[in-house]
Amino acid sequence: METKPKRHIAILGSTGSIGTQALEVVKANPNKFAIEVLTAQNNADLLIAQAQQFEPNCVVIANETLYEKVKNALADFPIKVYCGANAIADVVQMQDIDMVLTAMVGFSGLIPTINAIKAGKTIALANKETLVVAGDIITKLAYEKGVNILPVDSEHSAIFQCLAGEFHNPIEKIILTASGGPFRGKTISELTNITKNEALKHPNWAMGAKITIDSATLMNKGLEVIEAKWLFSLQKNQIDVIVHPQSIIHSIVQFQDGSMKAQMGLPDMKLPIQYALGYPSRIKSDFPRFNFLQYPNLSFTKPDTDTFINLKLAFEALDCGGNAACVLNAANEVAVEAFLTDKIKFLDIAKINEKTLSKVIFKNNCSINDYLETDKEARAIAMEYV
Ligand code: MG
């Protein structure tokens, strides 16, 4: 039997929800994957435990005050230890890396992703904010470097899977499914006094705090609309969103002959993670299987964008182009953080996003520096509204 060389992987954000699940996939397939780099923001204890288990070439702790702790804990291992955001942006270029899984939260993924593409690494993209902020630059660079960007987001993985073998067939449109989050069907007055704990309880998916709040406000779906535009080169009118509370159909592609392909399965992030890590091979797994008879009623409704205006704002930002999506993302990161630290109410998140989007000066044909400046400016303005 032919044995393929192992795929060497860097996981940026290894202690988060996607990172830990990716390591489960790696652990279950030791003959297919090896871990080259692990990075974390603040969770030194888990990073140390992961490093001791997977013995990567190096680890990076972004929070520099935790460097000594990580360094000392790994002193007896042949593992290099670095710290700081710049180190993360550097290590992704290491020669032995085949694939970089970008699973950190928010804007911080931008520069490491750009560096990894420049170094020719395949990207398994879980950090959707990177494409939201600078999708034009990222996709152009990936095209020039011949680098694949493999989606890890379940909806985009679904579309990507539906497109297998359809290379020459144009997409008529895609339909992104949304669970609707924990507050589906609620009115504005019912949402006024939503608590943090209520918002952090997602009905179907177990995810990190930021994305769980984004799911509750429908911002996550808005960011995914923009992410889809860049991943699949689509126009605004080629992207639909439909609420599908069971999260079984993960998204749909409609082709020019009217035929639709959907990808489905139980909501489990390990599946799209594994598909990206193993692409183009499907790896045998023992993940629970979907049974139609347990779900006799799959349902679909229109999203309520009058109550959940974030989705509307995302389509506006997409239509606007330039730095608009970067503004929306920055405002949203500030607003979600403020909500998670009890500084604002649930409905204020979308209000801050809307006000910031209308306040920051619009710019077209942006460079990376323009995006970095826009991000800073939008954060400052959003902070004033907190
Ligand atoms: Mg998703």
Exposed/middle/buried for residue 75 (C-beta within 10 Å: 0-12, 13-18, 19+): exposed
Tokens representing residue 192 in the block: 């006024």
The predicted structure's pLDDT at residue 203: 83
Mean pLDDT of 284-303: 96
Cα end-to-end distance, the chain, whole Å: 61
At residue 204, the pLDDT reads 85
Residue 3, pLDDT > 80, answer no
Whole-number average pLDDT of the chain: 96
- The SS3 call for residue 98 is coil
* Ligand 1 center–CA 224 separation, angstroms: 7
CB neighbourhood size of 234 (10 A): 17
Distance 76 CA to ligand 1 centre (A): 39
* Bridge pairing between strands 260-264 and 249-255: antiparallel
pLDDT at 167: 87
Q: How far is the CA of 97 from the centre of ligand 1 (A)?
A: 26
SS3 of 17, please? helix
Q: What number is the average pLDDT over the span 133-153?
A: 97
HSE-CB for 140 with a 13 A CA cutoff: 8
Measure 153 CA to ligand 1 centroid, in angstroms.
5
Q: What is the DSSP string of 244-286?
A: -TT--EEEEEEETTS-EEEEE--S-THHHHHHHHHTTSPPP--
> pTM of the full predicted structure?
0.95
Sequence-separated contacts (24+) of 253-256 with Cβ below 8 Å: 253/159, 253/162, 253/163, 253/166, 253/171, 253/174, 253/175, 254/171, 254/172, 254/173, 254/174, 254/175, 255/166, 255/169, 255/170, 255/171, 255/172, 256/169, 256/170, 256/172
pLDDT above 70 (res 150)? yes
- Looking at residue 148, its pLDDT comes to 97
- At 20 the three-state DSSP class reads helix
Task: Compute the distance from residue 38 Cα to the ligand 1 centre, in Å.
Answer: 23
Reported as a single tens digit per residue, the pLDDT across 48-72 is 999 999 999 999 999 999 999 999 9
Q: How far is the CA of 220 from the centre of ligand 1 (A)?
A: 7
Q: What is the mean pLDDT of residues 279-296?
A: 96
The tens digit of pLDDT for each residue in 84-142 reads 999 999 999 999 999 999 999 888 899 999 999 999 999 999 999 999 999 999 999 99
Instruction: Rounding to the nearest 10 degrees, give the CA dihedral for residues 41, 348, 345, 182.
Output: -80
- Taking the CA atoms of 152, 153, 156 and 159 in sequence, report the sign of the dihedral they define: positive
Domain ranges (residues) in the chain: 7-151, 156-267+291-309, 321-386
Beta-carbon count within 10 A of 287 CB: 13
Region 269-275: mean pLDDT is 97
Calculate how far, in angstroms, residue 155's C-alpha sits from the geometric centre of ligand 1. 5
Q: What is the mean pLDDT of residues 138-153?
A: 98
State the DSSP code for 16.
S
Q: Prior bond to 280 cis, omega within 30?
A: yes
Name beta bridge partners: 61. Answer: 40, 83
Q: How far is the CA of 156 from the centre of ligand 1 (A)?
A: 7
In the CATH scheme, what is the code of domain 7-151?
A: 3.40.50.720
Q: How many angstroms does the Cα of residue 206 sit away from the middle of ligand 1?
A: 11
pLDDT tens digits, 326-380: 999 999 999 999 999 999 999 999 999 999 999 999 999 999 999 999 999 999 9
Let me know the angle formed at the C-alpha of 219 by 228 and 314, rounded to the nearest 5 degrees.
60
Q: For residue range 168-181, what is the model confidence (pLDDT) as tens digits?
A: 999 999 999 999 99
Distance (angstroms) between ligand 1 centre and the Cα of 66 equals 31
Report whether pLDDT(2) > 60.
Answer: no
SS3 letters across 156-187: HHHHHHHCCCCCCCCEEEEEEEECCCCCCCCC
CA of 67 to the centre of ligand 1 (A): 33
pLDDT for position 105: 87
pLDDT of residue 205: 81
Å from CA of 125 to ligand 1 middle: 12
Same fold for the domain at 7-151 and the one at 321-386? no
Residue 202 pLDDT exceeds 90? no
Classify domain 321-386 by CATH number. 1.10.1740.10
